[in-house]
Amino acid sequence: MSELNSKIPEGPLANKWNNYKEHAKLVNPANKRKLEVIVVGTGLAGAAAAASLAELGYQVKAFCFQDSPRRAHSIAAQGGINAAKNYKNDGDSVFRLFYDTIKGGDFRAREANVYRLATESRNIIDQCVAQGVPFAREYGGLLDNRSFGGSQVSRTFYARGQTGQQLLLGAYGALERQIGLGNVKMYSRHEMVEVVTIEGKARGIIARNLITGQLERYFGHAVLLASGGYGNVFFLSTNAMGSNVTAAWKAHKKGAYFANPCYTQIHPTCIPVTGDYQSKLTLMSESLRNDGRVWVPKTKEDAKAIREGKKTAVDIKEEDRDYYLERKYPSFGNLCPRDIASRAAKEACDDGRGIVPSGLGVFLDFADAIKRLGVDVVKARYGELFPMYQNITNEDPLKTPMKIYPAVHYVMGGLWVDYELMTTVTGLYCLGGPRG
């Protein structure tokens, strides 16, 4: 039975990662060419890992069950990516990002790992820019930031409403470059069915070729799982092409321990359910709460009239609206953390003040932002999000408030890892969604 050893470095929290890097064993360039690494999954974590390892000189084999390594659920991450660069000079710091992340994870995350993430966040943005990710920029050309739920600073780097897509394309481009150089061998339409272990160490995988149906064996000195989380276990979620989690389960059968196997993000800004035959939900970017105000009518009678089509949002006077996030959480308001915003929306709807026929929906209103900034500025900030909403609902959110309700969007957790991201199986590492 494996002993759980997180391998957290000694010393003060802020120095752990630097101390680890400065004393880690190195591999010289000539020896890197002799080592083969298998990467399972080519979303943001997998594609970035495969490209980076190949750039360092390792021989990489990358696997995905889609027809292309760019078809991953990472593409649905619309809002942005956080980094403690303090470009807005609003008091941000590595520690504040660390603290907000710990708080956002309900204080269940390993502090040393989160502090490392906060520290490296600044370098991650630079890497993404180098890969060609077209982050939004201010008029003078500097990278722009916007606010996001759960923090009181502007630290979110974004590419309008398609950040995940642009990040994935950047990682995909870097991966394709390494494929072209011969440093990565890409195996699409392959699904891992077993981790091969020799004397308790991961030394390869068995994968099924989904075109021929044949089982194929592949050797690797190390195996990296970046195969996504458990989103598809939920009946209705925003997942369309996410992981089926078989890789994590096969690893568990070889001795990898589980941890937080269903660490789930509930987003408060999904388009509400509209029918019995719906197969998935659509997320409106969380960034919309930066300018949108969330509200429901103060009275059940007004809410019922809206549900029955007898009234519209415009008919509800300002004094008859309950901007409940601003009322309950004045220091954060509409930018309160996702779990708090989601819970508050459910409470309002459970109170009978939901504004869609099912009763499960609230308004996200941009009227004040349009009045303050102008419609062109608001449209430019969020790109295709408004047209996407209009195409789905046949309502223009620039003229009438959006209708939103919480739903499952992203799922992390699964296999337990130590500080080096290794599971309880030596040589088997876990990145991104499958990691707990």
First to last CA, the chain: 19
Q: Which of the 8 DSSP states describes residue 298?
A: S
In a domain, 1, yes or no: no
> 334: which 2 tokens?
């509409």
Query: What pLDDT digit, counting tens, does each position of 136-195 carry?
Result: 898 888 899 888 777 888 888 988 778 888 988 899 999 999 999 999 999 999 999 999
Phi/psi for 19 (5° steps) reads -60, -40
- Cβ atoms of 201 and 406 within 8 Å: the answer is no
Domain span holding position 121: 13-263+411-430
In a domain, 436, yes or no: no
Beta bridge partners of 184: 60
Same domain membership, residue 70 and residue 119? yes
Task: In whole angstroms, give the CA distance from residue 13 to residue 256.
Answer: 27
Q: Which of the 8 DSSP states describes residue 406?
A: E
pLDDT at residue number 382: 84
Same domain membership, residue 226 and residue 94? yes
Task: In whole angstroms, give the CA distance from residue 3 to residue 125.
Answer: 36
pLDDT at residue number 242: 52
pLDDT at residue number 433: 65
> 67: which 2 tokens?
């027809």
Q: Return the H-helix or E-strand segment holding 61.
A: strand 59-63
pLDDT at residue number 201: 95
> 315: which 2 tokens?
């008919």
Residue matched to tokens 């209103």: 365
Query: What pLDDT digit, counting tens, does each position of 109-143 carry?
Result: 889 999 999 999 999 999 899 888 999 898 888 89
Same domain membership, residue 191 and residue 290? no
Same domain membership, residue 280 and residue 147? no
Residue 161, Cβ neighbours under 10 Å: how many?
A: 22
Altogether, the residues listed in the chain come to a count of: 436
pLDDT at residue number 258: 87
Asked about 338 being catalytic, the answer comes back as yes
Q: Which residues of the chain have pLDDT under 70?
A: 1-2, 231-232, 239-245, 262, 413, 433-436
pLDDT at residue number 232: 66
Ordered DSSP codes for 297-323 = ESSHHHHHHHHTTS--GGGS-GGGEE-
- Cβ atoms of 127 and 151 within 8 Å: the answer is no
Sheet arrangement for strand 190-198: 190-198, 201-209, 215-219
Residue 308, Cβ neighbours under 10 Å: how many?
A: 9
Q: How many helices (H) and strands (E) does the chain have?
A: 13, 15
Same domain membership, residue 373 and residue 231? no
Residue 231's identity, in one-letter code, is G
Please give the C-alpha separations between residue 223 and each of 36, 150, 210, 392, in angstroms, as whole numbers: 9, 35, 20, 41
Same domain membership, residue 195 and residue 252? yes
> 285: which 2 tokens?
């970017």
In a domain, 391, yes or no: yes
> 213: which 2 tokens?
């149906």
Same domain membership, residue 385 and residue 305? yes
Phi/psi for 130 (5° steps) reads -65, -30
Residue 361, Cβ neighbours under 10 Å: how many?
A: 26
Same domain membership, residue 420 and residue 314? no
pLDDT at residue number 434: 54
Task: In whole angstroms, give the CA distance from residue 134 to residue 28.
Answer: 34
The CATH code of the domain that includes 363 is 3.90.700.10
Catalytic residue among 160, 293, 338, 381: 338
| pTM of the predicted model as reported, rounded to 2 decimal places | 0.85
Same domain membership, residue 192 and residue 311? no
- Residue-wise burial string across 49-83, b where 16 or more C-beta atoms lie within 10 A, e elsewhere: bbbbbbeebbbbbbbbbbeebbbbbbbbbbbbbbb
The CATH code of the domain that includes 234 is 3.50.50.60
Residue 290's identity, in one-letter code, is N
